[in-house]
Structure 1
Amino acid sequence: MEENSKKIDTYLKKITGKKPDDYYTKIIPLEDLRPGDILAFSGEGEESLITKLILCFTNSWVSHGALFYQHGPVEALTDAGSTGIQGHKVTSNPEDRVAYVSRLIKTSKIGNKSSFYSDKEMAPVLAAAKGYVEQDLPYPYADLVFLALILLYKDHSQAGIKQSIIIALLRCLAAELKKLLDDKYRHNYTMVCSSLVYQCYLDASKKNRKFKLKLTKDADLSCRTSKKGLLNQNRRKANTLLDLYAEHAAEYDFKTEAFHQAVAPKEPVANLEDLAKEIVESDRSNRVMMLKGNALSSAIENLLKTLMEVLGFTFTSIKDMIKNAREMQAMFVTPNDLCFNIENVKKIGKVHLNRADENLPHEQLTDFSKI
């Protein structure tokens, strides 16, 4: 485990995505944060193997998103983590993890000056966050689900990872998620950390459309839903695993039994440590195009079915399952999107934050719906 972690840390130096420190240059104190500020936490130095794989697959330096919630009665943020959507007390010391802070712009920029919403005006966003907290939905293995979603929804053709390794990782994640089903764990919560932040602003935009976060053309997902719920690919052609699977399934009129029947007897499922080592040590310098095939489609379908069941989706057919996956894809936002790919925010700076592991009692979160 230790040897593999060191190799992954070495690979992080090869990440070519934007470095937040080049764009968020000002160090700010905790007291300068405002309710509703968007936080994208650095993934550097994190020990979680899955977190490091997330950084590799997103080619970014941030791995977690959160919403700063309040300064009193205790300073707190809200996020989606291993204990669900909850509030957590935050403190600040120089050795703490770095969070990159952006803030919604109220009006257009004039020169270098921007106007921001007051705490009272931000109430709809914060009320949405508290509403999710009060649902008390459990969410173990948040990073595992996040990694699965990244594999299904992002274009990996530039990542230089061989298809055989992708298939092995899909099978590994499906096996890990099935353990949750064996423990009779199911729920209807579908948001990961960064998607929660986006959703809170989206909920608030129903009262004031200016609250909607506007994703740029460089957002990690190349397609979004239109008003009719259909996916738009008006920016660039997507080449995600979900796209490949959906196209392949359509060719078989969604009778996908053939995918599994044509696949050779399965090898033992590899573990994450071994796969991480193989991913890190492989030659990732060349573009690798994913090709439709029964083995790949079988692995995608198994992971997708398991993931949908874990997240509480019900479906009656393969076509219905794909439709549900598409709807969830439209709301999937990465921490890198929060950090770099929102048009109507200003990059404020970076703050050192320690997020307490314990959930903050609900009564210690301000009820902004009454403000």
Structure 2
Amino acid sequence: MDVRDLKPGDVLLFSPEEGSWISKAITWLTDAPVSHAAMTYQLPTKLVEETPPAVRIADATLRFVDRTVHVMRLNKPVDDFKPVMDVAAKYLNGQAPYSMNNLYLLGILLLYKKFTPNDETQKIILKILKSLTERLLDAINQMKYPDKHPMVCSQFVFECYLEAGKAYRLSIKDGVLKSDSPRPNLITKAFKHTRKNSQLANLSAGAESDDEQLAKQLYHAMNDETLLASGVVSDELLDSIHDFAQTLHAVSQELELAKADPRQGLAILQAQSSMFVTPGDLLRHCPELRHVGDISLK
């Protein structure tokens, strides 16, 4: 398939970025060959995507280099894709925030996944959550509140179709985070936990962290046994989830940190888990989308 064959509204799903441990960890956790989602915008050579620091327009021929892009297209008859493009333009003009980059997607996947991570994996998840919490604290301190809960790339595409109207609405059937496993996810465990020691006062807002190094450590710590582990989740990790939830509640509701409630933050996360969409969902679990071809540019 050629870039010139793309049509407005085509969903573009990217293979993992070469050399990126974050991309690799996302595909491992979702058991899917894609780690990023975007959408063709207006012209075949333009795409719109949620990527740091905000929603942006990019040149498809540049973004596609060294990636395999799976092209998905709506399989329902519609007059045109102007409603979808209008929603994308709204987010574009509003500079919908995405300061968290793909580490945020990775962190949310870890919170939603129905598994009990082994001790080594828990230590890495703790580092990731602290890093994400630091960035949310930075948003609070700079009074840069998002207009809503931060979206990941695939959620942005899904929202554009959702808000365009009934004719365009997508659905996810048996998504990658749906599981028959009776094991609760980390959010559920955190709900049952009472925070013993908050680290919010000790975190350095805006501190730099090596996201790729964290993802590399996580990838090496995770293995098949990780998903089968039946150990206990540490109080330190559960406390850290409460810290993350409190800052998330503050940002999403435009509150001072002291007035934010970690349990309300957990409630936000839990409510959104049922609607959370991954790049793998758009590839394999969305009946309204059909695969029309792949593009690989070197």
TM-score range, shorter chain: 0.7 to 0.9
Match of 1:66 in 2: 38
Please state how far the C-alpha of 1:239 moved relative to its aligned partner.
2.5
Match of 2:13 in 1: 40
Alpha carbons of structure 1 residues 281 and 77: separation in structure 2 relative to 1, 3 Å = closer
Q: Distance in 1 between matches of 2:118 and 2:11?
A: 28
Asked if 1:99 corresponds to 2:43, the answer is no
- 2:169 maps to amino acid: K
Please state how far the C-alpha of 1:321 moved relative to its aligned partner.
2.2
Match of 1:55 in 2: 27
Q: Distance in 2 between matches of 1:44 and 1:173?
A: 21
Unaligned runs of 5+ in 2: none
Q: 1:346 aligns with which of 281, 286, 290?
A: 290
Q: 1:195 aligns with which of 152, 155, 180?
A: 155
1:346-365 equivalences under 5 Å are 346-352=290-296
Q: 1:81 aligns with which of 51, 59, 62?
A: 51
Asked if 1:324 corresponds to 2:296, the answer is no
Q: Which has the higher helix share?
A: 2
1:226-265 equivalences under 5 Å are 237=182, 239-246=184-191, 248-249=192-193, 256-257=194-195, 259-260=196-197
Q: 1:143 aligns with which of 92, 102, 107?
A: 102
Name whichever of 133-142 and 343-352 sits farther off: 133-142
Q: Distance in 2 between matches of 1:51 and 1:331?
A: 22
Q: Distance in 2 between matches of 1:93 and 1:175?
A: 29
Percent of matched pairs sharing the same residue: 27
Contact 1:67 1:197 in 2 (8 A): yes
Give the superposed CA RMSD.
3.5
Please state how far the C-alpha of 1:168 moved relative to its aligned partner.
3.9
Asked if 1:285 corresponds to 2:224, the answer is yes
- Number of matched pairs: 287
Alpha carbons of structure 1 residues 198 and 46: separation in structure 2 relative to 1, 3 Å = farther
Q: Once the two structures are superposed, what CA deviation does each residue of 1:313-338 show, in whole Å capped at 9, x if it has no partner?
A: 65753432222223333332111111
Q: Distance in 2 between matches of 1:50 and 1:86?
A: 21
Please state how far the C-alpha of 1:171 moved relative to its aligned partner.
3.2
Please state how far the C-alpha of 1:280 moved relative to its aligned partner.
3.9
Q: Once the two structures are superposed, what CA deviation does each residue of 1:156-180 show, in whole Å capped at 9, x if it has no partner?
A: 4489964344334433443454445
Contact 2:16 2:36 in 1 (8 A): yes
User: What is the TM-score normalised by the length of structure 1?
Assistant: 0.65
Q: Once the two structures are superposed, what CA deviation does each residue of 1:335-358 show, in whole Å capped at 9, x if it has no partner?
A: 11111111222111111369xxxx
- Please give the secondary structure, in 1, of the residue aligned with 2:35: strand
Q: Distance in 1 between matches of 2:290 and 2:103?
A: 31
- Please give the secondary structure, in 1, of the residue aligned with 2:80: coil
1:173-188 equivalences under 5 Å are 173-175=132-134, 177-188=136-147
- 1:153 maps to amino acid: Y
Match of 2:235 in 1: 294
Q: Once the two structures are superposed, what CA deviation does each residue of 1:190-218 show, in whole Å capped at 9, x if it has no partner?
A: 2111001111111123xx2x42212121x
- Please give the secondary structure, in 2, of the residue aligned with 1:174: helix
- Please give the secondary structure, in 1, of the residue aligned with 2:151: coil
Contact 2:25 2:219 in 1 (8 A): no
Q: Distance in 2 between matches of 1:283 and 1:79?
A: 29
Match of 1:229 in 2: none
Q: Once the two structures are superposed, what CA deviation does each residue of 1:61-81 show, in whole Å capped at 9, x if it has no partner?
A: 311101112227xx3111111
Please state how far the C-alpha of 1:222 moved relative to its aligned partner.
2.4
Contact 2:249 2:260 in 1 (8 A): no
Please state how far the C-alpha of 1:153 moved relative to its aligned partner.
2.0
Asked if 1:123 corresponds to 2:82, the answer is yes
Please state how far the C-alpha of 1:29 moved relative to its aligned partner.
0.7
Match of 1:212 in 2: 169
Contact 1:155 1:239 in 2 (8 A): yes
- Please give the secondary structure, in 2, of the residue aligned with 1:91: helix
- 1:220 maps to amino acid: V
Alpha carbons of structure 1 residues 78 and 282: separation in structure 2 relative to 1, 3 Å = closer
Q: Once the two structures are superposed, what CA deviation does each residue of 1:202-261 show, in whole Å capped at 9, x if it has no partner?
A: 1123xx2x42212121x12329xxxxxxxxxxx664622111111x14xxxxxx34x228
Larger Rg: 1
Q: Distance in 1 between matches of 2:182 and 2:12?
A: 30
- Please give the secondary structure, in 2, of the residue aligned with 1:260: coil
Unaligned runs of 5+ in 1: 1-27, 107-116, 224-234, 250-255, 355-371
Q: Distance in 1 between matches of 2:142 and 2:10?
A: 37
Alpha carbons of structure 1 residues 181 and 31: separation in structure 2 relative to 1, 3 Å = same
Q: Once the two structures are superposed, what CA deviation does each residue of 1:279-300 show, in whole Å capped at 9, x if it has no partner?
A: 3444723122363552231021
